[in-house]
């Protein structure tokens, strides 16, 4: 069996081979590509004899999947799967698994890094301090006592809610189904519009689907308090970033912390959010800690081993 890793997994090759050793077990061939390409013809050549593909967040189009005549499984080193043509996978009976849970703590920690940076003006005051300035003219606000609105209480959203409670926040949440454990800890579930109306901090932790795309739109952004902030460490297209840029420019909310966009960085210089000084932008780093990269590689090959043994896991 041929296992092809189509893009770098952000850890040294020797570590990948060590993690994969039990799966490969001397019986299967492991091919690692250390460059990331969007060239469809190159990708078709790389996947043509693959039985199993491993990707992270690279776009995997249907025409590439269709060209892999021997392909039986795709193990995605990522939580979201909207970058893979699942329709074609289903048509070809290709099993798809993801690396659910590998970055739960990592993303939750970044969300609070952005929140605290905005509340305390850390990023801008770093530059001010280096230029001989003081805190004068720059607000400072506690996280303690704030209303934290969590949209989506899956694994990451649940962790964010729990950390918010530990910080002394009043936590409200929106999700299709309510988490009884969070309710027992003091989280209150409310309607989506109420999240935007009542929260001092709105943080998004939904998967990207047809029903969630653009869920944070101009109308909902206009419901937010003037001194509130928006955090997105989930998926970029959940938010209408053009509308967000306008809201920020007009001073209708206090700020935003954005790690994900409707495209992967680098962003074009004309991208609207780049022009706003009320926003902290990071180039999709939420998932990317060293520890998380090791965790996801382990899950990827555990998924493959489970499938080979007839016990698939993390199936999409």
284 is catalytic: yes
Distance set, CA 130 to CA 127, 135, 137, 139, 140 (Å): 5, 12, 16, 18, 19
Of 10, 178, 264, 276, catalytic: 264
Give yes or no for a contact between 293 and 78, defined as CB atoms under 8 angstroms apart: no
pLDDT along the chain (316 residues), means of 10: 96 96 94 95 97 96 97 95 96 97 97 98 97 96 98 97 98 97 98 98 95 97 98 97 97 98 95 96 96 97 97 96
264 is catalytic: yes
242 is catalytic: no
DSSP 33-63: --S----HHHHHHHHTT-SEEEESSS-B-HH
Of 205, 220, 235, 295, catalytic: 235
Indicate the DSSP class of residue 264.
P
CATH architecture of structural domain 2-102+289-308: 3-Layer(aba) Sandwich (3.40)
Whether the domain at 2-102+289-308 and the domain at 104-281 fall into the same CATH topology: yes
DSSP 178-226: --HHHHHHT-EE--HHHHHHH-SEEEE-----TTTTT-B-HHHHTTS-T
Please report the pLDDT score of residue 3 as a whole number: 98
Please report the pLDDT score of residue 80 as a whole number: 87
- What is this structure's pTM? 0.89
- Record: fold of 104-281: Rossmann fold (3.40.50)
Q: Where are the domains of the chain?
A: 2-102+289-308, 104-281
Of 120, 170, 249, 284, catalytic: 284
């Amino acid at each position: 069996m041929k296992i092809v890793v189509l893009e770098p997994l952000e850890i040294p090759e020797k570590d990948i081979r060590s993690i994969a050793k039990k799966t490969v077990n001397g019986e299967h061939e492991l091919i690692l590509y250390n460059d990331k390409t969007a060239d469809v013809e190159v990708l078709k050549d790389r996947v043509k004899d693959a039985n199993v593909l491993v990707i992270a967040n690279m776009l995997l189009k249907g025409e590439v999947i269709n060209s892999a005549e021997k392909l039986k499984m795709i193990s995605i080193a990522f939580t979201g799967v909207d970058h893979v043509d699942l329709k074609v996978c289903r048509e070809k009976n290709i099993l798809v698994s993801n690396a659910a849970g590998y970055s739960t703590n990592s993303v939750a920690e970044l969300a609070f890094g952005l929140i605290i940076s905005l509340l305390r003006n850390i990023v801008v005051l770093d530059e001010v301090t280096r230029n001989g300035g003081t805190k004068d003219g720059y607000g400072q606000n506690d996280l303690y006592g704030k209303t934290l609105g969590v949209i989506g209480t899956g694994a990451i959203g649940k962790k964010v809610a729990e950390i918010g409670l530990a910080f002394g926040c009043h936590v409200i949440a929106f999700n299709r189904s309510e988490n009884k454990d969070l309710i027992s800890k003091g989280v209150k579930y409310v309607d989506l519009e109420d999240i935007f109306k009542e929260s001092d901090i709105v943080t998004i932790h939904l998967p990207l689907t047809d029903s969630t795309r653009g869920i944070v739109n101009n109308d909902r952004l206009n419901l937010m308090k003037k001194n509130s902030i928006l955090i997105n460490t989930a998926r970029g297209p959940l938010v209408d970033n053009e509308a967000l840029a306008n809201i920020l420019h007009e001073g209708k909310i206090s700020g935003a912390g954005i790690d994900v966009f409707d495209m992967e960085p680098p962003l074009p210089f004309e991208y609207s959010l780049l022009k706003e000084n009320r926003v902290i932008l990071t180039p999709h780093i939420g998932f990317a800690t060293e520890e998380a990269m090791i965790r996801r590689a382990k899950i990827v090959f555990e998924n493959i081993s489970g499938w080979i043994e007839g016990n698939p896991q993390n199936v999409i």
